[in-house]
Amino acid sequence: MKRLLLSAAVCMSLLTATVSCNDSSKKGNASGTAAEYEDQSSSSANNIIEYTNLIVDLSNKNNDYVNTLMKYVDKAEKGLKNPSDPFAFSGMLTPHSFPTFNRNSKVKVDEPVKDLSKADQQFFKEKVTSYIQTYKQMDSSYKQLKDYLSAQDYKDDKGAKGNALISDIRSHAEALQTEKVVLMKKVSEVADASEIIILKDSPLKTYILAMKEDMKSISDFIAIMEDGAASYGKVADKAQAAYDALEKAQAAHAKIDMDNATKAHKEVSYNSFYDGFHTFLLDARKIMRDAKEKGSMPDYIVEQLSRSYDNQVSRYNTFNR
């Protein structure tokens, strides 16, 4: 089975899979990035997907770390206002160096594959390098902050350097997010163009497009819930409409004819995806009900939804192995 994009919904501006694959599969009908790559071989398309998978993985792993790091930064800032509290700086996160992926693979995240166009090779080389550098600068500032707090240097300067480091960390985290949006937009474009080639004659195309569409919708639903975490009332109607659409999609896609999936020994993994989707809907109903009653949601609830989404991504990946 050819490799497919690791996580559709991670891409900030994911192209609508149904449109791109159905409308662009015939030679000469593609436009933009799809036209640029329509003559590539399946092998080249597969290489590009493997490379974009690395970038998506990079983004996912770093996002979890940055979110956790920012919680400790908030705690440090609060602690500097009251350093006499014996628990002000307890449990600070241990920084880690920039992660690497697929060490045994010939494809490296900072070395764009030659199957990309020259312009896209240059784009990814510049943007990935910048992303990695911004990440390392943020992590370096956090390491300095942790050392500063451990040595209790705030007693010498009344927290001045600590607050400066906190400001620096937040600036780098914001820059990371901005760079991620730009990077993921391009990932989406080139990966979708390559998937057109890979999926064009695949007997599993219907199943893959269904799962991609549903992951995008799940991600959109979670974004709505996150937006309404502090004041659920402002998104309640929108969340309900998104939920209803998810429920309808789950019911329809779970009943897709399974002949081709069975022939490819993929029926178990496909059913696992939609069983997981069903469980997500049950959890979502409970969360929506509680949020409506209480008017808000704690952070751990939104994180629970995000973890459920990650599980769906894993199930999707299992299908595509």
Q: How far apart are CA 243 and CA 205, in angstroms?
A: 25
pLDDT value at residue 62? 81
Least confident of 55-59, 199-203, 241-245: 55-59
pLDDT tens per residue across span 17-36: 322 333 334 444 454 677 78
In this predicted model, what pLDDT tens digit does every residue of 263-274 receive, in sequence order? 999 999 999 999
According to the model, what pLDDT value does residue 64 have?
Answer: 75
**Is the pLDDT score of 13 beyond 70?**
no
The span from the CA of 5 to the CA of 14, in Å, is 11
**Rounded-to-integer distance, Cα 214 and Cα 200, Å:** 20
Q: Identify the three-state secondary structure at position 111.
A: strand
First to last CA, the chain: 6
Provide the percentage of residues in the chain whose pLDDT is more than 90.
60
**What is the per-residue pLDDT for 98?**
58
- Check: CB of residue 122 under 8 Å from CB of residue 114: no
Among the residue ranges 19-33, 36-50, 121-135, the one predicted with the least confidence is 19-33
Q: Which residue has the higher pLDDT, 58 or 11?
A: 58
Cβ-contact 77, 166 below 8 angstroms:
yes
Most confident of 46-50, 70-74, 252-256: 252-256
Neighbours of 34 (CB within 10 A): 23
- Confidence bin at 12 (pLDDT 50/70/90): very low
* Coil vs helix vs strand at 175: helix
Q: Closest by alpha carbon to 189, among 278, 127, 256?
A: 127
Residues 206-237: b if buried by 16+ CB within 10 A, e if exposed: ebbbbbbbbbbbbbebbebbbebeeebeebbe
Contact present, 212 and 253 (Cβ < 8 Å): no
**Separation CA 159–CA 169 (nearest Å):** 15
Q: How confident is the model at residue 252 (pLDDT cuts 50, 70, 90)?
A: very high
* Average pLDDT for 196-224: 92
Residue 8's nearest CA partner among 46, 41, 52 is: 52
pLDDT at 50 over 90: no
Q: What pLDDT, on the 0 to 100 scale, is given for residue 95?
A: 64
Neighbours of 110 (CB within 10 A): 13
- State the CATH class of domain 205-319: mainly alpha
- Chain length of the chain: 321
Q: What is the pLDDT of residue 158?
A: 94
Rounded CA gap, 146 and 228, in Å?
A: 33
Question: Is residue 167 pLDDT above 90, yes or no?
Answer: yes
Average of per-residue pLDDT values in the chain: 85
CA distance 194 to 204: 16
Work out the average pLDDT over 68-91. 89
Q: Which of 26-30, 181-185, 255-259, 268-272 has the lowest mean pLDDT?
A: 26-30
pLDDT, one tens digit per residue, over 281-302 is 999 999 999 999 999 999 889 8
Domain boundary assignment for the chain: 8-199, 205-319
Tokens 């990440």 found at: 135
Q: What average pLDDT does this structure show over 73-102?
A: 78
Structure tokens given for 121: 């090779």
What pLDDT is attached to residue 320? 81
pLDDT band of 81, cuts 50, 70, 90: very high
